[in-house]
Amino acid sequence: MPPTAIKICGLSTPETIAAAAGAGATHIGMVHVPPSPRHLPLDEAAALRAHVPEGVKTVLLLANADIETTAKAIGAVRPDVVQFHGSETPEWTGLVRDKLGIEVWKALGVRDAKTLKKSRRFEGRVDRLLFDAPAKALPGGNGEAFDWQLLVDFDHRIPWGLAGGLTAENVAAGLAATGAELVDTSSGVESAPGVKDIAKIEAFCAAVRACEA
């Protein structure tokens, strides 16, 4: 099996990008969602993009952005992946994927088994699904997990990842329970909302790699 992919989301400084990449993260996430404490204006996100090392993918997170905002954001930041974290439809994600030729992810808040069944609507319209805790005031980054047992024995037809409340302390349990091929953390590696902690980033990545040893 290939190594577990690791996404550290909500990064906002060259130092935390370097720390994530150095610790083994395969993806770094930048958030362009104004209500979020991790929100980056597009000029800042574009400047930070230059600090992402070759071989590490940049993921730009958007939520319920209109056509103009989406196109402007992708054009400014030039991410490897755009991750939609709102109420975007399969038709919308498929349109962006096909017209812009960019890798597209969709985050889904998992409330129950029905959510998983509905996720099949995105087959052929996204490159990856992220199963996350249900949205609250913010679409993600709330530091809460969902019932991982819902994913046990689910027939995944789309590449996927596990998100929602993951930390260095519980990611091994999450991987053991679900067999996720990618894990995604944001608040789980912070000392305060929007403030990434380099030691926590390193510990999270080390915990994932220890599961593979």
**Domain spans in the chain, listed from the N-terminal domain onward:** 5-212
Neighbours of 206 (CB within 10 A): 12
Cβ-contact 84, 70 below 8 angstroms: no
- Dihedrals phi, psi of 93, to nearest 5 degrees: -65, -40
Encoded amino acid at 162, one letter? L
In terms of Cα–Cα distance, which of 3, 29, 22, 2 is closest to 201?
22
Q: What is the pLDDT of residues 1-53, one digit of tens each?
A: 789 999 999 999 999 999 999 999 999 999 999 989 999 999 999 999 999 99
Rounded distance between C-alpha atoms, residue 155 and residue 151, angstroms: 9
In terms of Cα–Cα distance, which of 79, 93, 86 is closest to 40?
79
**Which pLDDT score, from 0 to 100, does residue 2 have?**
84
CATH number of the structural domain 5-212: 3.20.20.70
Size of the chain, expressed as the number of residues it contains: 213
Q: With a cut of 80, say whether residue 144 has pLDDT above it.
A: no
Mapping DSSP to helix (H, G, I), strand (E, B) and coil, where does residue 7 land?
strand
Rounded distance between C-alpha atoms, residue 71 and residue 56, angstroms: 22
**Average pLDDT taken over every residue of the chain:** 93
Q: What is the pLDDT of residues 67-118, one digit of tens each?
A: 899 999 999 999 999 999 999 999 999 999 999 999 999 999 998 888 899 9
Q: What is the pLDDT of residues 168-182, one digit of tens each?
A: 999 999 999 999 999
